[in-house]
Amino acid sequence: MLQDTYGRTFSYLRLSITDVCNFSCNYCLPDGYQRCHKEKFLTLEEIKCVANSFAQMGVEKIRITGGEPSLRKDLPEIIAAMKATPGIKKVALTTNGYKLTEQLPVWIEKGLDNLNVSIDSFEPSSFKLITGHDKLQEVLDGIEQALASGFNNIKINTVLMKEHSASQLQQYFDYIKERPVSLRFIELMQTGDNEEFYSAQHVSGQHIKNQLFAQGWTQVIQDKSAGPAQVFSHPDYQGTIGLIMPYSKDFCSTCNRLRVSSLGKLHLCLFSEQGLSLKEYLAQDDVEGLKDFVTQKLSDKHATHYLTEGFSGATKHLSMLGG
């Protein structure tokens, strides 16, 4: 099992397969996707090599992310390849949901275990304002379809923004009352490109936590390996609520994940200064070489990010890496 100098173990890999996105979320790609490199994205063969190597180092769960991963035509083959990798127990996907109604049955058939869909507002006009697309109903239809087919491993990611989230909390609660969906509020994080937006819109998740306790929600005790989300449940609700508060004390002490970008770079943290290229190992399907490299570099992983000091490393926006 991969372990760093602070005793944290890493059973979870976030693998970005493209940095291209068709949405223009105001906190991520407000001007839409602009290609700023000439490099090729990982091929299916290279992705298999990444999965094999990390699985041999104890990784059991791979989340496929982007950019928007569903823009890759070979996504079904990628899901199937991850699922077929010995040692990988869970294959997850994070998507903006715009292809859900059309593609989810295929993804499930290929072995998808968990699905995260980003919905930053249940108000159609706010959703359009945030993402640049009038697609809320389509995304919600995709989730209904999934639930109706018995696929219940669904999380909804909602980025907390002063302008939208605080006034719309009741809508989020109403949504999960009768649906077995895990709704996760994520505090807006500062990246290289969104400093002004961050200053204007960042709001702590603490007020939601206070509200949850006041309304009879209880915090679910989780295993240390479960990662940094705080989870809450309520007997009257089928769904649960998660809070991801990266600016809170000790957030990084439960870090259980490493990241590989669509350009084949290892990122020890979402906000590291640079990625470490794995390309020479991937080109030769050199699983042993890749494993040695990662094991050695893991000792450089810092105890924490430096977001509270306003440092977001080389991460201009999360479309580069997948969040």
Question: What residue ranges bind ligand SAM (CB under 6 A)?
Answer: 21, 27-28, 65-66, 68, 94-96, 118, 157, 159, 186, 188-189, 191, 194, 318-319, 322-323
Secondary structure of residue 266 in the 3-state scheme: strand
Nearer to ligand SAM, 10 or 27 (CB): 27
**How many residues sit in the footprint of ligand SF4 (CB under 6 A)?**
12
Least distance CB 86 / ligand SAM (angstroms): 27
Least distance CB 281 / ligand SF4 (angstroms): 27
What is the spatial distance between Cα 68 and Cα 269, in angstroms, rounded to a whole number? Answer: 20
Task: Give bridge partners of residue 95 from the DSSP assignment.
Answer: 117
Binding residue for ligand SF4, selected from 96, 116, 182, 315, defined by CB under 6 A: 96
Nearer to ligand SAM, 28 or 75 (CB): 28
Nearest residue to ligand SAM on Cβ basis: 323
Secondary structure of residue 221 in the 3-state scheme: coil
Residue 246 structure tokens: 């990266």
When CB distances are held under 5 to 8 angstroms depending on the partner's kind, the choice from ligand SAM, ligand SF4, none that residue 266 binds is: none
Binding residue for ligand SF4, selected from 13, 17, 28, 51, defined by CB under 6 A: 28
When CB distances are held under 5 to 8 angstroms depending on the partner's kind, the choice from ligand SF4, ligand SAM, none that residue 157 binds is: ligand SAM
Q: Which residues in the chain belong to E strands, given as ranges? A: 12-16, 61-65, 90-95, 114-118, 154-160, 182-187, 218-219, 230-233, 240-244, 257-260, 265-267, 276-277
Least distance CB 135 / ligand SAM (angstroms): 12
Least distance CB 17 / ligand SF4 (angstroms): 12
Residue 98 structure tokens: 């715009």
H or E segment and range at residue 294? helix 287-297
Least distance CB 184 / ligand SAM (angstroms): 8
User: Edge-to-edge strand order for the sheet containing 240-244?
Assistant: 218-219, 230-233, 240-244, 182-187, 154-160, 114-118, 90-95, 61-65, 12-16, 257-260, 265-267, 276-277
Residue 26 binding ligand SF4, by CB under 6 A:
no
What is the spatial distance between Cα 106 and Cα 281, in angstroms, rounded to a whole number? Answer: 31
Binding residue for ligand SF4, selected from 2, 10, 18, 23, defined by CB under 6 A: 23
Residue 307 binding ligand SF4, by CB under 6 A:
no
Residue 54 binding ligand SF4, by CB under 6 A:
no
Binding residue for ligand SF4, selected from 46, 68, 187, 193, defined by CB under 6 A: 68
If you search the block for the tokens 């091929």, which residue do you land on?
Answer: 43
CA dihedral of residues 178, 114, 260, 21 (deg, nearest 10): -60
Least distance CB 121 / ligand SF4 (angstroms): 13
Binding residue for ligand SF4, selected from 13, 15, 17, 29, defined by CB under 6 A: 29
At residue 236, what are phi and psi to the nearest 5 degrees?
A: -90, 0
Q: How many residues does the chain have?
A: 323
Residue 160 binding ligand SF4, by CB under 6 A:
no
Between residue 109 and residue 148, which ones bind ligand SF4 under the rule CB under 6 A? 118
Binding site for ligand SF4 (CB under 6 A): 21, 23-25, 28-29, 66-68, 96, 118, 319
